Amino acid sequence: MSALFSSGVSDTDKRKALRAGLASGELQRWPGAFSPLVAKLIADVGFEGVYVSGAVLSADLGLPDIGLTTLTEVAARGSQIAHATDLPALIDADTGFGEPMSAARTIAALEDAGLAGCHLEDQVNPKRCGHLDGKDVVPTDTMIKRLRAAVSARRDENFVICARTDARAIEGIDAAIDRARAYADAGADLIFTEALRDLGEFERFRAAVDVPLLANMTEFGKSDLLTADQLRDVGYNAVIYPVTTLRIAMGAVERGLREIASAGTQSGLLDGMQHRSRLYELLRYADYNDFDSDLFTLEGVRS
Ligand SMILES: C[C@](O)(C(=O)O)[C@H](CC(=O)O)C(=O)O
Ligand SMILES: [Mg+2]
């Protein structure tokens, strides 16, 4: 069981766990945590890791996902989420927050923040959601510079640097595969294959690239929603559900607010709510009480 106050597993050990998961041949499932509390729930339900989404981080601040957030904001929220769980957390670093030297600094900041890895994408700035039209990619050699800078700044060799290619929707699948190969040669540990259409495209990617691959099962986008079994059978190594928990929560919040506005009470909503006792269980309320009473007893002994 994890420690109180913060994670009981060191950043180094989480990174080793992430690497081991990627090498295990088992599909690593990383739902997005929109808060530290959600990260605790993800661990409790039994997933292998936690994802910290840029789209969610922006939306949570009331902003669209168009590259407005700063490294400081992303690293700070990432740190809160990463330290709330014993699971490794992979964070969305967008385009690296600037030119290659800034991408390098991003890696240092995210390592310091306790993340187990991050992804950098080959979009131009300002970036867009990978499932929307109107995005664009930088030339391959520009992305390679971004990646090389990132890799050279890494101090913990186990920190996972994932390269995301957005090229499928712009240049087609063959170009996306060529880019993935080039990014792996530049030192990427994992390739995020953004906005592939269907199972056949995931299969093509898997057959063409021999580094670990990550699938993005985001809703209302360009990709079919494939099951974990389908992705496992194709040989993908990791899957993220980046915005899913936020969409579930916001759907419920909106329905609830409308009911309170119309019915004048929330009493019809109680069955759908997380109970106070379940919240306290997740937060380990009783363990904090024990900790506190131990302290109290200790003081009693001293006086
Ligand atoms: C994975 C992603 O980069 C994110 O920020 O979570 C988004 C998800 C989304 O907007 O649905 C993306 O795919 O660009
Ligand atoms: Mg993103």
Interface pTM (ipTM) of the complex?
Answer: 0.99
**Residue 173, H or E segment:** helix 173-185
- Mutational test site, ligand 1, from 168, 216, 220, 248, max ligand atoms within 8 Å of CB: 216
- ∠ Cα 169 175 176 (to 5°): 60
Q: Give pLDDT, residue 303.
A: 45
Catalytic residue among 194, 201, 236, 241: 194
Tell whether omega for the bond before 36 is within 30 degrees of 0, i.e. cis: no
Ligand 1 contacts CB of residue 67 (under 6 A): no
Q: What is the reported pLDDT for 1?
A: 53
pLDDT of residue 40: 98
Q: Is the CB of 90 under 6 A from ligand 1?
A: no
**pLDDT for position 301:** 52
State the DSSP H helix or E strand holding residue 90, giving kind and residue range, or none if neither.
Answer: strand 89-92
Task: Give me the residues paired with residue 163 across strands.
Answer: 120, 191
Q: Which two tokens stand for residue 150?
A: 């990132």
Q: How many CB atoms lie within 10 A of CB 187?
A: 15
Please choose, from the candidates 72, 121, 115, 67, the residue with its C-alpha nearest in 3D space to the C-alpha of residue 91. 115
Gap from CA of 232 to ligand 2 centroid (Å): 23
Q: Give per-residue pLDDT as tens, 261-279.
A: 999 999 999 999 999 999 9
CA dist 86 and 45 (Å) reads: 13
171-184 pLDDT, tens digit per residue, is 999 999 999 999 99
Q: Cβ of 154: how many Cβ atoms within 10 Å? A: 19
What does pTM read for this prediction? Answer: 0.96
65 is catalytic: yes
| Confidence (pLDDT) at 26 | 97
Domain ranges of the chain: 11-250, 273-302
Burial of 158-184, coded b for 16+ CB within 10 Å and e otherwise, reads bbbbbbbbbbbbbeebeebbbbbebbb
Environment of ion ligand 2 (residues, CB < 5 A): 54-55, 92
Fold of 11-250: TIM Barrel (3.20.20)
Parts of the chain with a pLDDT under 50: 303
* 51 is known as an active-site residue: yes
Active site residue 236: no
